[in-house]
Chain A
Amino acid sequence: MEFIVKYWAYLLPVLIIQVVFQIIALVDLARRPREEIRGLSKPLWVVIIIIFEILGPVIYFIFGKKYDAGDKN
């Protein structure tokens, strides 16, 4: 904890990047109809996006969305 307090200025950009990416993924998930989501339910995807830090949104964007020729989102 003491370490984080001491070097917060360096760690802040990393945290901001991660949070912005998570927000983009969460907004995409919220706007997407259920039938365009692959595998898990929406609440479970929310948990994955949040707990896996930077990799959460990566997992969601690669495996969580259904893509087809008519994908307009």
Chain B
Amino acid sequence: MVTKLMKKEWNEYLKTGKFYILLFVFIFFAILSPITAKFMPEFIKSLSQEITITVPPPTWRDSFVQFSKNLNQIVFIVIVLVFLGSVAEEKNHGTASLVAAKGIDRRKWVFSKFLFQILFSLAMLTIAFFLCFYYAKLLFPETQFYLAFSSTVLFAVYLFFILTLTIFSSSIGNSMLQSAGIFFAIFIILNILNIIPQVNPYNPMTLPSIENQWIASKVAWGNTIKPIISTVLLSLILIFSGAAYFHKQEL
């Protein structure tokens, strides 16, 4: 059943162009990040010929700091916009009630959507990482695989959380606008909570900053294990409560 629903989801993504959005955005920023890191200092120098600007020589780490920055800003917004309406828009258009009328378990329906989104996003992230690594290696031969890969794994954990938050918001909200309101309210609250020192080590919002620390120095699993475990737990709570809410919701 879940496989069948995921296949339907795949066809939907091809039909609506969402497949192209994620494919092109991930690939575009994967290639652009090492190029920006390598050539931006030279580009800045070339712009100001009269004033002397001292820019430190770029390293491979700048490629992945740039990659992480692009993933956490532009790619993040695109992912949220693409996935936010996944349940809410179907409720709005009446497709969700048709699914329920066919006797399909609503919880399975939500899980299949989530499973498809996470598998699809991880596939795109993997392609993007290897492309970024290839370009970084080309421009900076000393590029280290382990550190770069570890920071991308951290983003994958963060992505898992963001996707559960979008599917939760989408299951609760009745339109894309409502879902966006719920999503950003929780996102802002978590960011505010990040300033409390006791909450900080367990907050999923610390993951993006740890990504950069990993690239800059070395992998510190001791500091990372807490936010990873709490992020996974929080994600599971979100996905199960979202599905349970949608199961009982009147369509």
Complex partner residue of B31 from A17, A20, A21, A72, CB under 8 angstroms:
A17
In the assembled complex, the Cα of A68 lies from the Cα of B95 at a distance in Å of: 8
Please indicate which of the listed interface residues A25, A54, A57, A62 has the most CB atoms of chain B within 10 Å of its own CB.
Answer: A62
> What is the bound-complex CA distance between A61 and B94, given in angstroms?
21
Q: Is the CB of A62 within 8 A of B31?
A: no
- Whether the Cβ atoms of B27 and A61 lie closer than 8 Å is no
B39 and A61 within 8 A (CB):
no
**Does A30 have its Cβ within 8 Å of any Cβ on chain B?**
no
A52: interface (CB < 8 Å)? no
Q: How far is the CA of A18 from the CA of B29 in the complex (A)?
A: 11
User: In the bound complex, how far is the Cα of B31 from the Cα of A18, in angstroms?
Assistant: 12
Q: Are A14 and B16 in contact, with the CB atoms below 8 A? A: no
Instruction: Give complex CA distance A45, B95 in Å.
Output: 27
CB contacts (< 8 Å) of B16 on chain A: these are: 61, 65, 67, 71
Structural contact, A14 and B20, CB atoms closer than 8 A = no
**In the bound complex, what is the Cα–Cα distance between A24 and B89 (angstroms)?**
24
CA distance A54 to B139 in the complex (A): 23
Q: How many residues of A contact B (CB 8 A)?
A: 26
How far does the alpha carbon of A28 sit from the alpha carbon of B240 in the complex, in Å?
37
Given contacts A28-B17, A58-B78, contact A17 B24 (CB under 8 A): yes
B residues near A, CB below 8 A?
15-18, 20-21, 24-25, 27-28, 31-32, 35, 38-39, 42-43, 46, 78, 81-82, 89, 93-95, 98, 139
Q: Report A's interface with B, CB cutoff 8 A.
A: 2-3, 7, 10-11, 13-14, 17-18, 20-21, 24-25, 28, 54, 57-58, 61-62, 65, 67-69, 71-73
18 extra A-B contacts, CB within 8 A, seeds A3-B46, A58-B78, A61-B20: A3-B42, A10-B35, A14-B31, A14-B35, A20-B24, A21-B28, A24-B20, A28-B17, A57-B21, A57-B24, A58-B21, A62-B21, A62-B81, A67-B89, A67-B93, A69-B94, A69-B98, A71-B16
Closest 9 CB pairs of A and B: A61-B17, A21-B24, A69-B95, A17-B28, A62-B81, A61-B21, A54-B28, A3-B46, A10-B35
